[in-house]
Structure 1
Amino acid sequence: MSFASPRDVYLLAVARGVSFLGDFMAATAILLALQDRGAGGPAVAAVLIASVVPVVALAPLVGRLVDRVDSRILLTTVGLAQAACCAAMALTTSTWLLIALVAALAAGVAVTTPTFNALLPDAAGPDGVGRAMAIGQTANSVGALAGPALAGVLVGVLGLRVPLLIDAVTYLAVAAAGLLLHTRRKAPIAAAGAGRTPWKIRNDRFLLALICLVGAIVLTINVDMVVGVFFIRETLGGSPVEFGLVEAAWTAGMLGGGWLAAARARDDGTLGRILVVMHLATALIVLVSGFASAVLVMYPLWLLGGAVNGAENNFIGVIAARRVPAEVRGAFFARFGAVINAANLIGYAAGGVLVGPFEPRHIVIGCGAAGIVGVAIFGGWMWRVSAAAGSAAASSLPGTSSSRSPSPACSGSAP
């Protein structure tokens, strides 16, 4: 099984992996710095909210940009702007200016993420999407694995500025990828011309059910993102390095999960049912973690949770490549990202409110329980449309322009 452009598949992976290294290092460093300064849950929540609001708000505009503007122009200009933004973040001492710059940086991520996601199926070719997703996720996981651990060390020794400057340098990898990639996207506007019915997510019941299921679990579980630093540092008595290692354990698990999924990709109906089970497992893992008595207990739980998450991301990416028409991939990934990040936003806001009056342990347990309820509500719908899809989805090639009525890539957070 060969790729349409092996060089570009690996170049995409390296560029995003380096960017992930800087992003996770900077994000962890900011959370640790705020906690050390005595900032409470609202400040931590404000940073996390600032990182997702632009992705949600800009989705309609971004979708049109990614599908109509040369991908080389988008990646180079936005990558350079993000590098400048990170440099400015390293120079400020104001918490609220830092939050504003986080929002500006997220506006760039809102553009580059769907651009990369839309490019990958073209670079991989119809039969290579699953393996290309695993390669990309491996690079992302290596970057995300090293980032939190490095942040814990660097913040403890050198403070916040150095991780942010490193993040500025890594964004130059995005600009470099834009210049070096041979695969380029600029869908002709005529592709959406008169006489054609515009493709809509709501016309594909499979994708609609999938988005609702993923959104529900993200909303309920990502409250834990806000409370996590307080749970590890204060409830379990962990150090900054231990907090970074716990965060890295999830990412380490994603490495194996992504490759296992790439080797076992099947028809859409089967993958849909597997995703229901995986989302239930994720909620159960978070629930159990709330009963941990020491940081050491968190490592195997987060490794397992990361493995499940890695497989989920791979399956969702494969399904999206199969079912979404090539000319609207940018719009799909932008809007899918907006839905997931809106769920993130609500979860972060709820976390900021809850972390004051409630014990961190109780919030973590509540997150897991709410995740189980979310799967119970939307999992049945996903199961039914997956059964209806059956083996028909397996015969659909990635990038075809047909859409079928019974019928993403998530990151989270994202993607």
Structure 2
Amino acid sequence: MSRSIGSGLAALSVSAYRRYIVCILVSFLGNLAHLVAATWLLLEITGNPASVPALFLVSAVPGVVLAPVVGRIVERYDQRLVLLVLDIVQAGLVLAIPLTSALGVLGAWQLYVQEFAIAFCGTVFFSATLSFVRNIVPPELLLSANSVTAFVYQLGNTLGALVGGLVVSIWSPYAAMVMNATTFALSALGILSIGGRRFRQPRRTSTPVLGPGLRKELVSTLRFMGRSAGLRDAAVLFLALTGAQRFLIGQVAPFVEGELGASSLEYGLIQGALAAGALVGGVLIPVLASRLPRKLLIQGAVPFAGAAIVVFSQSQTSAQSAVSYLLVGVVLQFWAYYQTLIQHELDPLTEGRNYAILGATQAASHFLVFLVGTVLTTLLSIRLVYLVFAVILVVATVPSARKLTRYHERTNTP
């Protein structure tokens, strides 16, 4: 068992990756704390609950609209430099809100502008990290690295929401934003410290970020992603599991309160079970990938996720919910496996634009998931909503899972 755990965490044997993952954890924690503070502050300023969904819509725009620009940034510049600049810029953006408040000129529009700018930085960050991790981790440890990163993402989000809520309740939203700026500064220092061997030296494009041909690049990238079976179908499965995670996070509060009648403490424990499941999944996925047939991994992950959601939907007590939600957390981490398949399909010269399109598609799919969830909850009970979603999730991904299996059998990719 200890050997299995060791193989699941093998990427942590790389010094540069250990430094990198600490930076990622700090960034995720600060981002969620900031989100809690921004939504709370927006409600205080506007007094309108509808202003919060509008903030989330604004945050989705950069990833969808500016994907070609994001791709060029990642492909033209050293990713380590990009990550460092992003941390510095975001620290300044976050500190701008307490400053404008101190000057007495803070309004809701500044929060929307700030969220747009931070969302743009986050889109670049997503693409740059996917590219950068391939430079500091050997190919055989990429799945382990993605699995550990997936857990850290979940852990950072959980701790960030908790810490953000505490800071806002004890001090103020501005204190949470100052804390977030501090996490960006710490992350920048960590990025600066990353050295060591480079397992890949990516080629750089000389095309200016805002130079001509953005539309042509976008069209050609979409065509490439659409025609590449290994990329297209892996992306469908990746988006299915990340979308399912967002769906569950959005629906778990009404389920726990309305169906179980649980307390806020029990709700927190159930949410914590998802993070615990992410930890277990992060360790198990590289182990399972090395021992199970690829066909089972590709075709089994999403159906298992659907089954886990069904089990969770039928839980009758908080204890049952926590155990089944832990199982959900384990299975949903398989998005890291599909992400690894995607990364292995990309050319270093053009991977930035592909990651940017993937991020844009992910933002759009999350918006669609929230929309579907909202519609379903107005028509059905929350238990039925989970059941219907699980069925849609599995049925919609079966063709892609089968085609991806045939692709890997035909190409005999490692």
Normalised by the length of structure 1, the TM-score is 0.77
Structure 1 partner of 2:403: 385
Structure 1 partner of 2:280: 256
Structure 1 partner of 2:300: 274
Structure 2 partner of 1:318: 340
Structure 1 partner of 2:59: 51
The one of 165, 182, 205 equivalent to 2:229 is 205
How do 1:341-380 residues align onto structure 2 when only pairs under 5 Å count?
341-349=363-371, 358=378, 362=381, 365-379=384-398
Give the secondary-structure state (helix, strand or coil) at the position aligned to 1:187: coil
Deviation per residue, 1:263-291 (Å, 9 max, x gap): 12156544311333244235435644xx7
Distance 1:372 1:4, change over 3 A: closer
Structure 1 partner of 2:144: 131
How do 1:114-263 residues align onto structure 2 when only pairs under 5 Å count?
114-182=127-195, 183=198, 187-189=203-205, 200-216=224-240, 222-223=246-247, 225-226=249-250, 228=252, 236=261, 238-239=263-264, 245-263=269-287
Higher helix share: 2
| Percentage of matched positions with identical amino acids | 21
Give the secondary-structure state (helix, strand or coil) at the position aligned to 2:330: helix
Distance 1:218 1:24, change over 3 A: same
Distance 1:112 1:375, change over 3 A: same
Distance in structure 2 (CA, Å) of the matches to 1:178 and 1:325: 24
Distance 1:320 1:214, change over 3 A: closer
Deviation per residue, 1:32-65 (Å, 9 max, x gap): 6778999676333223323322122222211121
Distance in structure 1 (CA, Å) of the matches to 2:281 and 2:401: 22
How do 1:393-408 residues align onto structure 2 when only pairs under 5 Å count?
395-396=413-414
Normalised by the length of structure 2, the TM-score is 0.77
Structure 1 partner of 2:359: 337
Distance in structure 1 (CA, Å) of the matches to 2:13 and 2:192: 16
Q: Note the C-alpha offset of 1:31.
A: 5.2
Preserved contact between residue 68 and residue 353 of structure 2 (Cα < 8 Å): yes
Preserved contact between residue 130 and residue 314 of structure 1 (Cα < 8 Å): yes
- Structure 2 unpaired stretches of 5+: 1-6, 208-219
Q: Note the C-alpha offset of 1:11.
A: 1.5
For 1:54, the aligned partner's letter is: P
Distance 1:115 1:44, change over 3 A: same
Distance in structure 1 (CA, Å) of the matches to 2:173 and 2:357: 33
Preserved contact between residue 36 and residue 164 of structure 2 (Cα < 8 Å): yes
- Structure 1 unpaired stretches of 5+: 192-196, 397-415
Deviation per residue, 1:333-385 (Å, 9 max, x gap): 22111111111123335566787xx49x8357425513421321222x12321
Q: How many residues align?
A: 382
Q: Note the C-alpha offset of 1:258.
A: 1.0
The one of 116, 134, 140 equivalent to 1:103 is 116
Preserved contact between residue 118 and residue 330 of structure 1 (Cα < 8 Å): yes
Distance 1:63 1:100, change over 3 A: same
**Do structure 1's residue 9 and structure 2's residue 25 form an aligned pair?**
no
How do 1:58-69 residues align onto structure 2 when only pairs under 5 Å count?
58-69=66-77
